[in-house]
Amino acid sequence: MNKIDKTPAPVLADSAADWQRNYDKMIGQDKTIKNRSGIEVKPLYWPQEDGDGSYVAKLGFPGADPMTRGIYPTMHRGRTWSQRQLIGLGRPEDFNERIKGILKSGATALSIIPCNSVYRGLDCDEVEPEILGTCGTILNTVEDMDISLKDIPIGEISIGLNDPNPFTMLAQMLIVAENRGISWDKITGTSNQSDYISHFVANHMFYRLSLPGARRVQMDTIAYLAEHVPNWNALSIVGQHMQQAGATPAQAMGLTLSTAIQYANDCIERGMDPEVFFERFTFFFDISISFFEEVAKFRAGRRIWNTLVTERFGVSNPRAKRFKFHAQTSGLDLTRQQPLNNIARVTAQAMAGIFGGLQSMHTDGYDEVLSTPSEDSAKIAISTQNILKHEAHLCDVVDPLGGSYYVEELTDAMEAEILDVIAQVDAQGGMYKAVESGFVQEMIGASALDYQDKVDNGEQIIVGVNAYQEEEDASARPVLKRPSPEHMQDQVDRFKAVKAARDPRALSKALDALRDAAKSKDQNVFAAELDAVRAGATLGEIVNVLRDELGFGMPLVVA
C-alpha cells in the first residue's frame, strides 16, 4: 500500500488483510463451498467501505477486537461447536451405555448429569428410594465414576461435569484418571456448575455450602486446577440459571458478566494473574426462542467481555479475551401440549445459538417437559444440530447475520441494557453483595412475573397453550421410563458394600485432614478433598464435613 496515499479507510483494508491471514493460518485446508445454484459461498462478508470507521470500531473482524463477530477467525466454518448433550440417569452402568450410544450418533463431547440427590450433597442411602436416579446418574464414589466412564478415553474427549461446589465429581474423575495412568495435563473439559453465585440466586438445587464457604472452596479449586490440571476450565459462569428463573436475556447476560467480574476480582485478590486465569473463564447460557434477541445478546456479550477484560482489567493476552460459551436450548419455552412442536422450537433456539457464535451446545429433547428425555428424543436433538450444520449449511459463513440493519442496531441496544445491569450491580458493591442482599433475586423475580403476565393476558402467544389449542389424547404422550426401585436398590446395596470395604483408619484420617484444611486459612480444601476421595470418602461424607466447617447452604429465597 502506498503510504502517501490519502484514500479513506486504510484501516478496513488492513483489518481485512489481518483477518484473511489469520483465517488462512487457522483453517488449514479450506474447501470451496458452492451452494445449489453454483454460487460460491465465502467464509465472511463485510462492507466495501468503512468511511466513519464504525465497522472496524464496533464490529471488527472475527477473532479481532472488539470480537463482535466471533472469537476465532474461522468460527464454525473451521470447527463446529461441540455437540455436548447432557446425559444422566440411573446407575453408572446405565450412563455408560447411554453415552456410548450418543457418541456413536455424532456427539463429540460428553456431559454428565448426576442425580438430584448428588446435587443436594446426599449419598444414595440418605434419600427416599422413589426419587433416586430418576433425573441423573448416581455418582457417590470413585467406583461409580469409574463405571460411568468405562472404555471412555478420558484424556481424548472433552468432559463437562455438572457437579457444583465442592466438586466431588471432578475429584472422583481425576482419581479415576490417576488410576488409569492418564496424565492430568491431558484432561480437557469444564466444571459446568462451578458458579456458586448463580446457584445461590437461582436453581438452588445446586447449592450446598454457605455463601462464604462456597467462595472459599471455589477459589481453592481454581488455584489447584490452574497448577495441576492446566487444560481444565475450572470456571463456567452460568447465565442459564438466571434466565430460567425469569431474568430477561439482557439481565441474564448483565448478571453473568457481573458474576465474572466478581470472580475475576476474587482471583486477583488471591494473587492470580489475569493474563493467565481469564483464559480459563468460560460461560454457559440459556437460548430462548426470542430468536434475534438471543443472537444480539451473544454478540453484545462477546463485545462487552472483550472491552471489559481489556479496559477494566488491563489484560493484553488475546486468548484471555475470548468469550467462550456453551449454550443450552431453553426448556422453559417447550410445552407439554402438542409436544412434537417442541422439535421446531428447539430448532429455532439452536439456530439463534449458532448465529450467536457459541462454542458448545446442548439441544433439548422434545419431551423435556413431560419427564426425563427418552433415548429417541435425545437422538432427534442431536440430529437437529447435524441437519442445521450439513443440510441448512449454517456453518458455511462466519457471523452471517452481521451487517443486518436489525441485528446490528439490536446488538447495540442489548449492549446498552446489559451495561446498565452491570452498573446496577456495581452500585450494589459487586455481585456477591448484590445477591447477599437479595437485590438480584428481586430483579429476576420481577421479570418472571412480568413475563407470566404477558403469557396470561395473551400478549405472548404460546402455540397449543394459549392459542391454537387442540384436544389431546393423553395416551399419545410418550410413556415415561424410570429406573425400577429394585434397580436402584442394587445401587444402594453396592454402595453400602463399597463403603464397608474401605480402610476405616485411612478414611478417618483423610476426613480429619479435610476438616483441618477447611478450618485453616491457607490450606487448599480441594487438595484435601482429593486425598479424601483417594481414601474412599463418599460425596455425602465430604459435603457433610465441609458443611460442618464452612456452613450449610441455604439460598436467600425472596418471597
Partner 1 sequence: MNQVPNIPARVLVTKIGLDGHDRGSRIIAAYFRDAGMEVIYTNPWQKIDAVVTLALEEDVDVIGISSLATDHLLVPKLMKALVEAELAHIRVVVGGIIPDEDEVDLLAAGVAKVFHPGAAREEIVEAVEKFAVDAANDRPQD
Partner 2 sequence: MSDTHEKSELAVRLLAGQRPALARAISIIEGQSEAIRRLLKAIQPHLGRALVVGFTGPPGAGKSTLVNAFIAEMRKRGKTVAVAAVDPSSPITGGAVLGDRIRMAEHTMDNGVFIRSLASRGHLGGLSASAARVADLMDAAGYDVVVLETVGAGQSEVEMAEMADVKIVVSAPGLGDDVQAIKAGILEIADILVVNKDDLPLASRTRRQLESMLALRVPGDWKVPVLSTNAVDKTGLPELADAIERKAALRQAKGARDMQSSRTRRLLAQTAAKTVEDHILRDQSAAAEAIISALQQSDIDLRDATAKILNLLHESLSDE
With CB under 8 A as the contact rule, which of the stretches 42-50, 241-249, 286-294, 550-558 interacts with partner 2? 550-558
Note whether 335 binds partner 1 by CB under 8 A: yes
542 binds, among partner 1, partner 2, none (CB under 5 to 8 A by kind): none
437 binds, among partner 1, partner 2, none (CB under 5 to 8 A by kind): partner 2
Q: Which of residues 355-374 bind partner 1 (CB under 8 A)?
A: 369-371
Report the distance separating Cα 445 and Cα 447, nearest Å.
5
Residue with cell 496424565: 183
- Report the nearest approach of partner 2 to the CB of residue 434 (Å): 12
- Report the nearest approach of partner 2 to the CB of residue 429 (Å): 8
Report the distance separating Cα 90 and Cα 489, nearest Å.
11
Q: How many helices (H) and strands (E) does the chain have?
A: 22, 9
Note whether 117 binds partner 1 by CB under 8 A: yes
119 binds, among partner 2, partner 1, none (CB under 5 to 8 A by kind): partner 1
Note whether 437 binds partner 2 by CB under 8 A: yes
158 binds, among partner 2, partner 1, none (CB under 5 to 8 A by kind): none
* C-beta closer to partner 2: residue 15 or 210: 210
Helix (H) or strand (E) segment spanning residue 326:
strand 325-329
Tell me if 56 sits within 8 A of 11, measured CB to CB: yes
Beta strands in 223-319 (DSSP E): 232-233, 235-238, 281-287
Residue with cell 471489559: 308
Residue 311: is it exposed, middle or buried by C-beta count within 10 angstroms (0-12/13-18/19+)? exposed
Tell me if 289 sits within 8 A of 345, measured CB to CB: yes
- Report the nearest approach of partner 2 to the CB of residue 555 (Å): 10
With CB under 8 A as the contact rule, which of the stretches 50-58, 155-163, 423-431, 479-487 interacts with partner 1? 479-487
* C-beta closer to partner 1: residue 234 or 546: 546
Backbone angle region of 416, left / alpha / beta, with phi > 0 → left and psi within -120 to 50 → alpha? alpha
User: Collapsing DSSP states into helix, strand and coil, what is residue 39?
Assistant: coil
465 binds, among partner 2, partner 1, none (CB under 5 to 8 A by kind): partner 1
Q: Which of residues 438-457 bind partner 1 (CB under 8 A)?
A: 445, 448-449, 452, 456
Instruction: Classify residue 120 by its DSSP letter.
Output: T
Note whether 204 binds partner 1 by CB under 8 A: yes
Report the distance separating Cα 205 and Cα 118, nearest Å.
10
Report the distance separating Cα 531 and Cα 178, nearest Å.
12
Which position among 228, 379, 393, 482 is part of the footprint of partner 1 (CB under 8 A)? 482
- Report the nearest approach of partner 2 to the CB of residue 449 (Å): 11
Note whether 427 binds partner 2 by CB under 8 A: no
With CB under 8 A as the contact rule, which of the stretches 59-67, 256-264, 269-277, 335-343 interacts with partner 1? 335-343
- Report the nearest approach of partner 1 to the CB of residue 445 (Å): 6
Nearest to 115 by CA among 145, 138, 140: 138
* C-beta closer to partner 2: residue 497 or 554: 554
Note whether 557 binds partner 2 by CB under 8 A: yes
Straight-line distance from the first to the last Cα atom of the chain, in angstroms, rounded to the nearest whole number: 65
Nearest to 478 by CA among 383, 333, 375: 375
Tell me if 363 sits within 8 A of 329, measured CB to CB: yes
Question: What's the Cα-to-Cα distance from 430 to each of 69, 74, 333, 436, 439, rounded to whole Å?
Answer: 29, 35, 31, 10, 11
Q: Which of residues 214-273 bind partner 1 (CB under 8 A)?
A: 244-246
With CB under 8 A as the contact rule, which of the stretches 172-180, 366-374, 413-421, 551-559 interacts with partner 2? 551-559
* C-beta closer to partner 1: residue 290 or 411: 290
Note whether 557 binds partner 1 by CB under 8 A: yes
Tell me if 510 sits within 8 A of 537, measured CB to CB: yes
* C-beta closer to partner 2: residue 1 or 559: 559
203 binds, among partner 1, partner 2, none (CB under 5 to 8 A by kind): partner 1
Residue 337: is it exposed, middle or buried by C-beta count within 10 angstroms (0-12/13-18/19+)? middle
Tell me if 176 sits within 8 A of 146, measured CB to CB: yes
- 286 bridge partner residues: 328
Size of site (CB under 8 A) for partner 2: 6
* β 159-161/189-191 pair status: parallel
- Report the nearest approach of partner 1 to the CB of residue 209 (Å): 14
Helix (H) or strand (E) segment spanning residue 84:
strand 82-87
Note whether 558 binds partner 2 by CB under 8 A: yes
Which position among 11, 57, 480, 497 is part of the footprint of partner 1 (CB under 8 A)? 480
39 binds, among partner 2, partner 1, none (CB under 5 to 8 A by kind): none
Question: What's the Cα-to-Cα distance from 497 to each of 158, 271, 506, 530, rounded to whole Å?
Answer: 32, 44, 17, 21
* AA identity, residue 531: D
* C-beta closer to partner 2: residue 245 or 532: 245
* C-beta closer to partner 2: residue 8 or 429: 429
Report the distance separating Cα 116 and Cα 176, nearest Å.
22
* C-beta closer to partner 2: residue 479 or 557: 557
555 binds, among partner 2, partner 1, none (CB under 5 to 8 A by kind): partner 1
Contact residues for partner 1, defined by CB under 8 A: 116-117, 119-120, 122, 127-128, 130-131, 134-135, 202-207, 244-246, 335-337, 369-371, 445, 448-449, 452, 456, 462, 464-466, 474, 477, 479-480, 482, 554-555, 557, 559
In the complex, the residues that contact partner 2 under the rule CB under 8 A are: 437-438, 554, 557-559
